[in-house]
A and B are shown apart, each in its own frame.
Chain A
Amino acid sequence: MQENDPNIRWVDESPLSARERLYLPLFFEGLTTTLRHLGRSLAGKVVTVSYPDQEPKIDAPLIYRGVHRLNRDEQGRVKCVACFLCATACPAHCIDIVAAESPWPDREKYPESFTIDELRCIYCGMCEEACPVDAIELTSLYNLTGRSREEMIFDKEKLLSVYDQTKDKEPMRSQRQSTGSYAAEHNRK
Chain B
Amino acid sequence: MPIVYIDDKEVHLQQHERLNGIQAAARAGVQIPYYCWHPGLSVVASCRMCLVECGKRDPQTGQISMLPKLVPACQTPATDGTVFLTNSDRVREARAMVEEDLLLRHPIDCPICDKAGECRLQDYHFLHGRGQRRADIKPFTSRKRSLGPTITLFVDRCIMCSRCVRFCREIAGTSELMVVNRGAHEEIDVFPGFPLSNKLAGNVVDLCPVGALADKDFLYRQRVWYLKSHPHVCAGCSTGCSIYVDQNQDRIWRLRPRENPHVNQWWMCDEGRYGWKYVHDPNRITAPCRRQEGQLKCIDWDTVWADLETQLPSVGGWTAVLSPFQTVEEAYLLAELVRSVDPDATIAVGPIPSQGRDERFPNGFTIRAEKCPNRIGVQTLAGQLQGELLSWEELKSRWKSQPPEGGLWIAGGYPASPWQSDDVEVARRARLLVVQELFPSALGAVADYRLPAAAFVEREGSYVNVHHRLQVFQWAIRPPRGVYHDGHIYWKLLGRPGLYRSAPVLQEVAERFLAFAAAKGEIPDVGVDLRIVQLAEPAETVMTSINSA
Contacts and interface: CB of A to CB of B under 8 A. Distances in A.
A106 B131 CA distance: 29
Contact of B220 (A1, A85, A88, A99): A99
B484 to A, nearest CB: 29
Contacts of A132: 111
A84 interface: yes
A88 B225 contact: yes
A109 interface: yes
B138 interface: no
Interface residues of B, number: 15
Contacts of A108: 109, 112, 141-142, 144
Interface in A1-17: 1-2, 5-7
A92 interface: no
Interface in A129-187: 132-133
A106 to B, nearest CB: 8
B221 A99 contact: yes
A116 B288 CA distance: 37
A67 to B, nearest CB: 24
Nearest to B127: A2
A99 B109 CA distance: 16
Interface in B222-240: 223, 225-226
Contacts of A1: 126
A82 interface: yes
Nearest to A130: B111
A101 interface: yes
A95 interface: no
A132 B219 CA distance: 20
Interface in B194-239: 219-221, 223, 225-226
Contacts of B221: 99
Nearest to A100: B220
Interface string A94-109: 0000011100001011
> DSSP majority for the A interface?
loop
Contacts of A5: 131
Given A1-B126, A101-B220, A6 B131 contact: yes
Contacts of B131: 5-7
Contacts, number: 34
Nearest to B220: A99
A109 B112 contact: yes
A83 interface: yes
A81 interface: yes
A88 B112 contact: no
Interface string A70-94: 0000000000011111001000000
A81 B220 CA distance: 11
Contacts of A109: 112, 220
Given A6-B131, A7-B131, A132-B111, A84 B144 contact: no
Contacts of A100: 220
A84 B223 contact: yes
Nearest to B128: A2
B158 to A, nearest CB: 16
A4 to B, nearest CB: 11
A133 B140 CA distance: 12
A83 B111 contact: yes
A84 B220 CA distance: 10
Nearest to A84: B223
Q: Which of the listed residues A1, A5, A99, A132 has the most CB atoms from chain B within 10 Å of its own CB?
A: A99
Interface in B479-532: none
B403 to A, nearest CB: 55
Nearest to A131: B111
A85 B111 contact: yes
Q: Which of the listed residues A82, A84, A106, A132 has the most CB atoms from chain B within 10 Å of its own CB?
A: A84
A175 B223 CA distance: 29
Contact of B111 (A2, A81, A101, A106): A81
Interface string B114-146: 000000000000110001000000000110100
A186 B226 CA distance: 40
Contact of A82 (B112, B141, B144): B112
Nearest to A112: B220
A82 B220 contact: yes
A175 to B, nearest CB: 20
A27 to B, nearest CB: 44
A54 to B, nearest CB: 43
Contacts of A84: 223, 226
Q: Which of the listed residues B109, B131, B223 has the most CB atoms from chain A within 10 Å of its own CB?
A: B223
A155 to B, nearest CB: 19
Contacts of A133: 111
Contacts of B144: 108
Interface string B17-44: 0000000000000000000000000000
A1 B123 CA distance: 10
Given A7-B131, A108-B141, A108-B144, A81 B223 contact: no
A144 B225 CA distance: 33
Interface in A41-90: 81-85, 88
A18 to B, nearest CB: 40
A116 B112 CA distance: 20
Interface in A97-129: 99-101, 106, 108-109
Nearest to A99: B220
Contacts of A2: 126-127
Contacts of A85: 111
A132 B221 CA distance: 19
Nearest to A6: B131
A156 to B, nearest CB: 16
Nearest to A101: B220
A81 to B, nearest CB: 5
B457 to A, nearest CB: 23
Contacts of B127: 2
Nearest to A81: B112
Contacts of A82: 112, 220
Nearest to A108: B112
A99 B220 CA distance: 6
Contacts of B223: 83-84, 88
Given A83-B111, A109-B220, 20 more contacts: A1-B126, A2-B127, A5-B131, A6-B131, A82-B112, A83-B223, A84-B226, A85-B111, A88-B223, A88-B226, A99-B221, A100-B220, A101-B219, A106-B141, A108-B112, A108-B141, A108-B142, A108-B144, A109-B112, A132-B111
12 contacts: A6-B131, A81-B111, A82-B112, A82-B220, A83-B111, A88-B226, A100-B220, A101-B219, A101-B220, A108-B112, A108-B142, A109-B220
Top 4 A-B pairs, shortest CB-CB distance: A83-B111, A99-B220, A84-B223, A7-B131
